[in-house]
Amino acid sequence: MNSSQATNESVPPPCTAEESLFGDLQPPSFFFQGVLILYIISNIITVPVIAVLNALVMIAVKTKSRLRAQKSNIVLAMLALTDLLVGILAQPIFIDGMISILLQESNGQSCLTEILSFAVSNCLFTSSLLHLALASGERYVAIKYPYQHITIVTESRLLVSSLLTWLLAVMVHVALAVDTFLFYRINNIVIGLSLAVIIFCHFSVYIETRRHKNQVAAQQVTQEARKQFEKDKKAFKLTSTIIGVLLLCYSPLMFCRLFLVTIYTPTLNTFYIIGFFAVTVVYLNSLLNPVLYCIRIRQFRVAFIELTFRNVNVARAEEMERQWFGAQKVVVGREAEHYQGRPE
């Protein structure tokens, strides 16, 4: 047997690896069954909500030209596609795996489900991180080079960049079928580079934002430049919030990987309870992202009202949004009249 064969055989599939580490799953207690049922129900409830909200984000950006005018919204729509796939693909596989464990169906199919859930979830996480790096880069160009931004960052280039990030995320996980150690090496490099890009862009944008703020305070910029700066700053804050929420949602999973496996070895029942909680919180991130768009971006709220009530025009949607959310009147006078006669 050569060295490569020995290396591959020393890395069993995830389900086999867990059995070798923790032994056979103990007869489930009522507590274990209750917790698992709670996880299953909570994931089943969130699946349609994640799918509907992220689909609304994508449709809103696709059909509303005023949303596409802000390039950062296009990147958010790309990120919404990843979150949509979490709800319609990764989460149902995860639910099926939990049901198999609850019913103690330990067979080849349950093992395959576990491996598939691991691969799909990690692929979508890598894609999310790459898209956040892309969003950070777009905000960096918008604030660092505001006059060149309109020519450098175009809708077609953003779409091509999104396609390349998807190809990279899928190619990284092809290595999982070849060599597990190779997959972890490549995946860690991609994650590390993505985080490096995000940190660099946010630090640079923070410095540039402070400089622009001082210029605005000293009345050294035009009124138009000041308005654009405020828009770019709000978009940057939203990107920062999304990244912060993502890291918060993934922190329980990182805890499981670093603590439960390397430092403390619990029983397999306890491992499943903690591990499934961490994965459920990760999937919750795909629900929180579109909620953040609604909270932070008024135009998304207005677009959602238009899409939900098909016979409502933009002016009426603006009015309904102000009544429901108490937002300040933004579109008035000529701007409202302009909206009323404009097709979307």
Each of the 344 residues of the chain gets a pLDDT tens digit; together they read: 444 444 343 333 445 434 433 344 556 678 888 999 999 999 999 999 999 999 999 999 998 888 888 888 898 999 999 999 999 999 998 998 888 888 876 555 666 777 777 788 888 888 988 998 998 898 888 888 888 888 888 889 999 999 999 999 998 888 777 777 888 788 888 888 988 998 898 888 888 877 777 766 666 666 776 676 777 777 778 888 888 888 888 888 878 777 765 666 667 777 788 888 988 998 999 999 999 888 888 889 889 888 888 788 888 888 888 888 875 444 333 333 443 344 44
Rounded CA separation 252/247 (Å) = 9
Q: Which residue from 294, 198, 291, 279 is spatially nearest to 243, judged by alpha carbons?
A: 198
Predicted TM-score (pTM) of this structure: 0.78
**Structure tokens belonging to residue 34:** 């209750």
Q: What is the pLDDT of residue 342?
A: 42
8 A C-beta contact, residue 155 and residue 71: yes
Largest Cα span, the chain? 79
71-90 in b/e form (b: 16+ CB < 10 A) is bbbbbbbbbbbbbbbbbebb
Helix (H, G, I), strand (E, B) or coil at 201: helix
Q: What angle do CA 41, 44, 50 make, to 5 degrees?
A: 135
Q: Which residue from 224, 338, 288 is spatially nearest to 53, judged by alpha carbons?
A: 288
Distances (CA, A) of 242 to 91, 123, 255, 300: 20, 19, 20, 16
Q: What is the pLDDT of residue 284?
A: 92
Q: What is the pLDDT of residue 3?
A: 44
Distances (CA, A) of 282 to 67, 94, 318: 28, 12, 34
Residue type, 158: L
Helix (H, G, I), strand (E, B) or coil at 327: coil
Q: What is the pLDDT of residue 26?
A: 56
Rounded CA separation 272/128 (Å) = 25
Q: What is the pLDDT of residue 286?
A: 92
Residue 27, φ and ψ in degrees, nearest 5: -55, 125
Rounded CA separation 304/59 (Å) = 9
Q: What is the pLDDT of residue 333?
A: 37
Rounded CA separation 188/182 (Å) = 10
Q: What is the pLDDT of residue 260?
A: 64
Q: Which residue from 119, 159, 128, 71 is spatially nearest to 286, judged by alpha carbons?
A: 128
Handedness of CA 120, 108, 31, 272 (dihedral sign): negative
